[in-house]
């Protein structure tokens, strides 16, 4: 993959957001807030960080990306389409009968997905198993990236994996936590407090970085730092805004599991196209 | 039959737990294929993973007491081309981690081998918490899953080697106690095949796992009473060997199933589902009747819950006296 420049990456993140809005409006169901919040991270991963080949999704030297919080799959589908894994028109089949783009991602249906996810809390341990297999094979050229939500850190399976990864020192595994502070029933700190989150992971033996998850340069730098850290496994707490880029969705947990209707989608696309009024849209 | 061990029904028959056969089979599978890896949740010795762990320390992963993590790590290893055997007591794997198996192994179609040791009431003194009875039902309901319940340690060894090569999500059910070795080293084992071990015409007793030995002894008891029971050993609960099962059912016209598990939704139910859609006939399911086990000696518990040879013979006799032979 050709690596994009920073301005190009920011533009790509915006394209991904517009894809997400169009997909969800067309599907009439699905999750808005998480995917929008993850768009900058996915732009950075698919267009700069990951070693991958959209024309050869099973390439044996590729890096692995696990999306543990499978409900955010629209952002992955959008990034994959933008990268050329499949035609962008196919995004409009999201959640429809016969589609390769299932409501939650299914590996066996769409080349380029690394696992099937949706039920929360089990992505990290799958990523750990992959990293462990690479460690056994003494493969030092491939990296395993795993994205988790913050709400899913409620799951015990996550902390079982956290202990295991540290025990085995799987420093070829890099975890990005999407710290957007919401889950279905409300703010994470009300539903089930996670703080002090950084200290928890550090106590489990991890190297922890905290970044602005909307700054693609920070995402890229943090991944570089993580790859260079070999004495511990690495975790990046990416602070994000749920619904980022669409002002009426931002920070509102009600958008966790809801799609925009057609008027809302029109408004959202206008906001994205004009970067919230900062620039004039050519469509106006 | 030529593939049966001598001394069946006597004290001279050799005994060994099925888990011991698994231990040998895994070691051999590890020698044959360097992609085979072992994972265990703090029960390395009692699940008999220890031989593999000592021979291949680099391919053995100690997970600690975390069965959900064990099966999902195994899924990840399978994704990278490994052939993982993940072992614990059946009460914990698959008991503790069913959803992870469903999503990350079955729906995700990764060839992880879940090995559930210490299944059934014959676990004995540990009591009901550790006597897994619902695992067959839990595993056979899952699409893509293969379910194998070996009858003795020799067969467990063969089954382990076969599962190392079948490239499918699989469940291997093992027992703690020493049980009779009723097969022979040359006896065939193939995933998906059932075996007629004793021919008869009055009633077909179909059994899975270590219950097959009890069924063989029951057939001897029945012979003394002039009843010719057929014994079908069904080590693969899924996929079921429909041809062998239907043929025996048609020949005998009445069927009894025996398993050391809940009768609900288990092996007997699988046979019932098959026959009710092909050759409907009376099927009596012997197993645990909607209740849990309790502490006791294994043989004491099998007797108490009606799963030893005398109870099977009595049930068969009753069935023969009360039920007509269907389709004959």
Query: Is the confidence at residue B327, as pLDDT, over 80?
Result: no
Cβ–Cβ contact B143 with A under 8 A? no
B221 and B263 share one domain: yes
C-alpha B112/C-alpha B170 separation (Å) is 6
- The mean per-residue pLDDT over the stretch B115-131 comes to 96
Summarize pLDDT for B59-99 with one digit per residue, the tens: 999 999 999 999 999 999 999 999 999 999 999 999 999 99
B173 and B209 share one domain: no
Where do the domains of chain A lie, and which CATH numbers do they carry?
A: 6-273 (3.40.50.970)
Task: Give the pLDDT score at A283.
Answer: 56
| Helix, strand, coil percentages in chain A from 3-state DSSP, rounded to 5 | 45, 10, 45
B164 and B264 share one domain: no
- The mean per-residue pLDDT over the stretch B317-327 comes to 92
- Is residue B325 situated within a structural domain? no
- Residue that finishes a domain, picked among B180, B203, B223: B180
B243 and B172 share one domain: no
| Cβ-Cβ contacts under 8 Å for A220 (sequence gap 6 or more) | A44, A48, A49
- Apex CA B183: angle with CA B181 and CA B186, to 5°? 130
Q: What is the CATH number of the domain that holds B202?
A: 3.40.50.920
Nearest to A151 by CA among A193, A207, A212, A116: A193
User: Does residue B113 sit in helix, strand or coil?
Assistant: strand
Query: Is the confidence at residue A278, as pLDDT, over 60?
Result: yes
B150 and B73 share one domain: yes
Which chain A residue's Cα is nearest to B75? A126
Contact B150, B161 (CB under 8 A): no
Chain A residues near residue B80 by CB distance under 8 angstroms: 129-130, 133-134, 137
Tokens 């030893």 found at: B308
Contact A164 B75 (CB under 8 A): no
Cβ–Cβ contact B101 with A under 8 A? no
Specify whether B190 is catalytic.
no
- Residue that finishes a domain, picked among B157, B180, B203: B180
Mutate: best of B42, B80, B112, B169, partner A, most A CBs <10 A: B80
Report the side by side order of strands in the sheet with A234-239. A64-67, A144-149, A173-179, A234-239, A207-212
Separation in Å, CA of A204 to nearest CA in chain B: 15
B111 and B41 share one domain: yes
The Cα-based distances of B308 to A109, B75, B212, B284, B298 in angstroms read 47, 38, 10, 15, 10
Summarize pLDDT for B147-170 with one digit per residue, the tens: 999 999 999 999 999 999 999 999
Tokens 């179609």 found at: B109
C-alpha B31/C-alpha B50 separation (Å) is 15
B69 and B167 share one domain: yes
Structure tokens at A234: 């690495």
Q: How confident is the model at residue B104 (pLDDT cuts 50, 70, 90)?
A: very high
Contact A252, A187 (CB under 8 A): no
- Is residue B307 situated within a structural domain? yes
Contact A1, A63 (CB under 8 A): no
B111 and B222 share one domain: no
- Residue that finishes a domain, picked among B153, B180, B207: B180
Mean pLDDT of chain B: 97
Task: Give the pLDDT score at A282.
Answer: 56
Contact B81 A117 (CB under 8 A): no
| Domain with B38 in it | 15-180
Contact B69 A157 (CB under 8 A): yes
Task: Give the pLDDT score at B195.
Answer: 98
- Is residue B7 situated within a structural domain? no
Structure tokens at B114: 């879940």
- The mean per-residue pLDDT over the stretch B302-315 comes to 98
Contact B64 A163 (CB under 8 A): yes
B136 and B53 share one domain: yes
DSSP letters spanning A61-75: T--EEEESSGGGHHH
Query: Is the confidence at residue A1, as pLDDT, over 90?
Result: no
Interface of A with B (CB under 8 A): 106-108, 114-119, 121-122, 125-134, 136-137, 156-157, 160-161, 163-164, 168
Structure ipTM: 0.96
Give me the residues of B, 70-89, that contact A with CB < 8 A. Answer: 72-82, 84
Chain A residues near residue B78 by CB distance under 8 angstroms: 129
Q: What is the CATH number of the domain that holds B62?
A: 3.40.50.970
DSSP letters spanning A212-239: ETT-HHHHHHHHHHHHH--SS-EEEEEE
Task: Give the pLDDT score at B319.
Answer: 94
Task: Give the pLDDT score at B3.
Answer: 87
Query: Is the confidence at residue A284, as pLDDT, over 60?
Result: no
Task: Give the pLDDT score at A3.
Answer: 84
Contact B240, B146 (CB under 8 A): no
B210 and B299 share one domain: yes
**What Rg, from alpha-carbon coordinates, does chain B have?**
19
- Is residue B113 situated within a structural domain? yes
Does the N-terminal peptide bond of residue A196 adopt cis geometry, omega within 30 degrees of 0?
yes
Q: At what angle do helices A156-167 and B67-79 cross, to 10 degrees?
A: 60
- The mean per-residue pLDDT over the stretch A129-153 comes to 98
- Is residue B263 situated within a structural domain? yes
B81 and B226 share one domain: no
Q: How confident is the model at residue A275 (pLDDT cuts 50, 70, 90)?
A: confident
Mean pLDDT of chain A: 96
B37 and B115 share one domain: yes
- Is residue B83 situated within a structural domain? yes
- Is residue B248 situated within a structural domain? yes
> Number of folded domains in chain B?
2
- Is residue B10 situated within a structural domain? no
Query: Is the confidence at residue A91, as pLDDT, over 70?
Result: yes
Contact A105, A85 (CB under 8 A): no
């Amino acid at each position: 993959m050709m690596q994009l420049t920073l301005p190009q990456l920011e533009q790509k993140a915006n394209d991904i957001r517009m894809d997400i809005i169009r997909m969800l409006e067309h599907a009439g169901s699905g999750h808005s807030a998480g995917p929008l919040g993850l768009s900058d991270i996915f732009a950075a991963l698919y267009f700069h960080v990951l070693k991958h080949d959209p024309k050869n999704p099973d390439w044996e030297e590729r890096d692995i990306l696990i999306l543990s919080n499978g409900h955010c799959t629209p952002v992955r589908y959008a990034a994959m389409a933008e990268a050329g894994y499949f035609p962008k028109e196919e995004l409009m089949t999201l959640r429809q009968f016969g589609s390769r783009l299932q409501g939650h991602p299914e590996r066996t249906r769409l080349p380029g997905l690394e696992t099937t996810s949706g039920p929360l809390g089990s992505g990290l341990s799958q990523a750990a198993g992959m990293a462990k297999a690479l460690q056994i094979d003494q493969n030092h050229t491939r990296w395993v990236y795993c994205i988790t939500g913050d709400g899913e850190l409620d799951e015990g399976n996550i902390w079982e994996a956290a202990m295991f990864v540290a025990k085995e020192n799987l420093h070829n595994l890099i975890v990005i936590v999407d710290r957007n502070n919401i889950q279905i029933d409300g703010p994470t700190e009300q539903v089930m407090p996670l703080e002090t989150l950084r200290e928890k992971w550090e106590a489990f033996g991890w190297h922890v970085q905290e970044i602005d998850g909307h700054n693609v340069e920070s995402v890229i730098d943090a991944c570089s730092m993580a790859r260079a850290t070999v004495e511990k496994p690495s975790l990046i707490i990416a602070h994000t805004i749920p619904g980022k880029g669409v002002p009426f969705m931002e920070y509102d947990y009600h958008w966790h599991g809801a799609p925009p209707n057609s008027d809302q989608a029109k408004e959202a696309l206008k906001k994205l196209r004009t970067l919230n009024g900062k620039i004039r849209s050519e469509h106006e | 039959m030529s593939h049966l061990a001598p001394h069946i029904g006597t004290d001279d028959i050799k005994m060994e737990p099925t888990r011991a056969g698994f231990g040998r089979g895994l070691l051999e599978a590890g020698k044959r294929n360097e992609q085979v890896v072992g994972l265990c949740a703090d029960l390395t010795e009692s699940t008999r993973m220890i031989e593999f762990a000592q021979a291949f320390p680099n391919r053995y992963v100690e997970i600690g007491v975390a069965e959900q993590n064990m099966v999902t790590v195994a899924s990840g290893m399978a994704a990278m081309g490994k052939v993982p055997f993940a072992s614990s007591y059946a009460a914990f794997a698959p008991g503790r981690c069913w959803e992870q198996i469903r999503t990350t192994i079955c729906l995700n179609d990764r060839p992880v081998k879940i090995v559930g040791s210490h299944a059934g009431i014959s676990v004995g003194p540990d009591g009901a918490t550790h006597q897994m009875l619902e695992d067959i039902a839990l595993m056979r309901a899952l699409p893509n899953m293969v379910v194998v319940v070996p009858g003795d340690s020799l067969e467990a060894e063969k089954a382990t080697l076969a599962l190392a090569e079948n490239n499918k999500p699989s469940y291997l059910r093992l027992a703690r106690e020493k049980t009779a070795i009723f097969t022979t080293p040359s006896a065939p084992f193939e995933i998906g095949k059932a075996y007629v071990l004793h021919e008869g015409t009055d009633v077909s007793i179909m059994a899975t796992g270590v219950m097959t030995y009890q069924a063989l002894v029951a057939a001897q008891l029945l012979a003394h009473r002039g009843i010719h029971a057929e014994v079908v050993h069904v080590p693969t609960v899924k996929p079921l060997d429909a041809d062998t099962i239907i043929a025996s059912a048609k020949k005998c016209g009445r069927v009894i199933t025996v398993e050391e598990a809940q009768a609900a939704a288990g092996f007997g139910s699988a046979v019932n589902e098959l026959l009710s859609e092909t050759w409907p006939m009376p099927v009596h399911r012997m197993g645990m009747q909607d209740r849990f086990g309790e502490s006791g000696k294994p043989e004491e518990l099998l007797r108490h819950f009606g799963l030893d040879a005398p109870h099977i013979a009595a049930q068969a006799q009753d069935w023969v006296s009360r039920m007509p032979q269907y389709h004959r």
